[in-house]
Amino acid sequence: MRAIESLGDLKGKRVLVRSDFNVPLDAEKNITDDGRIQAALPTLRTLLDAGARVIITAHLGRPKGQVNPDFSLAPVAKRLGEVTGVTVTLAEDTVGPSAKAAVEAAAEGEIVLLENVRFNAAETSKDDAEREAFAAELAALADAFVSDGFGVVHRKQASVYDVAKLLPSAAGLLVVKEIESLGRAVNNPERPYTVVLGGSKVSDKLGVIANLLSKADRLIIGGGMAYTFLAAQGHEVGTSLLEKDQIETVKGYIATAKDNGVELLLPVDTVIAPEFKADAPATVVPSDAIPADQMGLDIGPQTREIFAEAIATAKTVVWNGPMGVFEFEAFSGGTRAVAKALSESSAFTVIGGGDSAAAVRVLGFDESTFSHISTGGGASLELLEGKELPGISVLEG
């Protein structure tokens, strides 16, 4: 990938940066987790220190191509000004009169944040010509392009892919770090190589599991997806989350793991409740004895010990997906146990973005105790799956 240095002297230049500022907001539009903003700072400071006029394009939520004040980047602009200490101007549009005027007025070392790029339907259009036309309008605002939104590099979108072909372009420091860290874990792992997968659905991670069955030494399965594995072994899973249409596929995975010598660890005990509620009465039962009228909401204490021990003996660990409903205190123990095991491990540890990264912060862990916390759930999953990412391939060569 081309690095920022390849862009030459940036003093006075207008540099368009694609960032991922899709941050969570509360009901009052306050940012509840600014991790993605913090992760963007090294690239932004590098450009500001070089005397560039920084123009940022980013998205928030899913406005579906329509202007929607609920998804305005105003809270991001406010926070960005606070953490950078420089003037941040929020344009009222993305490529319209406000954006053009803001860019024209920006001085060296200042930031212009364009309004939500997904207010424009062409950003995510499947029509190449439509996307390219919008990308040309974005490119007209700048002299160079830096791709630093790892959370979107798996998308073939105008501000990620098409604009990179129209301007001198390079990967930002965040994207470089993400590719190097995830690449080290996926392509050249120090062994034993353990992958911990959780989250709600097996179907979300079919490609990942299939790819890892030829690469990992140990595969740990928790979260909602574990119940489809348990059902594939013939166990009753009650009213737990179950994808019946994936049972045969999962049976194949179990057989392949055995054939390939991949150790497959599933929950041996489960925290159950009669309903999906924070205050539902929790009980621990063996995973092969879940009552028909109960649902599994977390891995049990014995499973937590087994998983933690497996993590402790690994040299490389990748974790993607919580072990239970960590948002509910009564069902957060499994996710907390896995996070604790990773934080105490001497292995190279990667947390694959999304809910796993959110859980680490919600549960109060020191982020510096993990080797790398990804900012992109979907992008990191596609890397684990072995897919080519359009937003990365366009920066190569």
Binding residue per annotation — 155?
yes
118 is in an annotated binding site: yes
341 by Cβ neighbours in 10 Å (0-12 / 13-18 / 19+) ranks as buried
Active site (catalytic) residues: 36, 201, 354, 378
354 is in an annotated binding site: yes
- Residue 355 assigned ligand-binding role: yes
Q: Is 61 annotated as a binding residue?
A: yes
Does the annotation list 356 as a binding residue?
Answer: yes
The answer to whether the annotation marks 131 as part of a ligand binding site is: no
Per the annotation, does 22 bind a ligand?
A: yes
CA distances from 97 to 111, 115, 369 (A): 17, 12, 46
Q: Is 235 annotated as a binding residue?
A: no
218 is in an annotated binding site: no
Would you say 396 is a known binding-site residue?
no
Residue 205 labeled ligand binder: yes
Q: Which residues does residue 15 pair with via DSSP β-bridges, in sequence order? A: 54, 144
Cis preceding linkage at 75, omega within 30: no
Known binding residue 353? Answer is yes
Q: Is 185 exposed, middle or buried (0-12, 13-18, 19+ CB in 10 A)?
A: buried
Binding-site positions for (2R)-3-phosphoglycerate read 36, 118, 155
Binding-site positions for ATP read 205, 296, 327, 353-356
Binding-site positions for substrate read 20-22, 36, 59-62, 118, 155
Binding-site positions read 20-22, 36, 59-62, 118, 155, 205, 296, 327, 353-356
